[in-house]
A = this chain, B = another copy of it.
């Protein structure tokens, strides 16, 4: 499948490497592509030059990555998602599955804080759907560390991943990627994109669990 990833931080790189390993035809989207950008140190991640050498995946500007994909993945931070997707171009998102894995978090304070404008009465997922009404937005993969997201088998026991969105076929496409490419056994459909609010706000609990456990190699199972 042709996939365009928007955002080349640790999340975009991890997803991209995992999807490339499954034979998808990818582009990893960054704001600007030039020599300096390819060698720039990236927090917790590889330089783009090292990553592209390792994966064989081409790095491209946001708009080219989005134009390439049948499925677009928003792997930017929640606070900059709309801006990044605007650079990617509404025309490159229209009619396509837009998998939004971002969270409305502010790390600038040293502790994790939710961005007030993107919580409570809304969410990044809902705002992305509003800003790009022709994109078929699916919220998913935002409730675990991305290492677990692309390899849930690393957790010893079945855990759940959630999907939310207004387009049933788009949710099916994402569910297929989750199950076939990443090995998720249990995908819970929470309903429309309004449910993004719940999965995004869960991160406040997730972060405390992360601090207590000491790493991100965990997930949650809904037991009933």
Contacts and interface: CB of A to CB of B under 8 A. Distances in A.
Interface in A185-208: 188-191, 195, 197-199, 201-202, 204-208
Contacts of A114: 119-120, 201
A218 B224 contact: yes
A99 to B, nearest CB: 19
B209 A205 contact: no
A208 B191 contact: yes
A224 to B, nearest CB: 4
A183 interface: no
Chain A interface main SS type: mixed
A208 B223 contact: no
Contacts of A219: 222-224
A156 interface: yes
B223 A209 contact: no
A45 B116 CA distance: 35
Given A114-B120, A119-B119, A189-B212, A221 B220 contact: yes
Name the interface size band of chain A: 35 or more
B220 A222 contact: yes
Contacts of A119: 114, 119-120, 201
Contact of A208 (B116, B157, B198): B198
A215 to B, nearest CB: 8
A43 interface: no
A162 B157 CA distance: 20
A217 interface: yes
Interface of A: 113-114, 116, 119-121, 155-159, 162, 164, 188-191, 195, 197-199, 201-202, 204-209, 211-213, 217-224
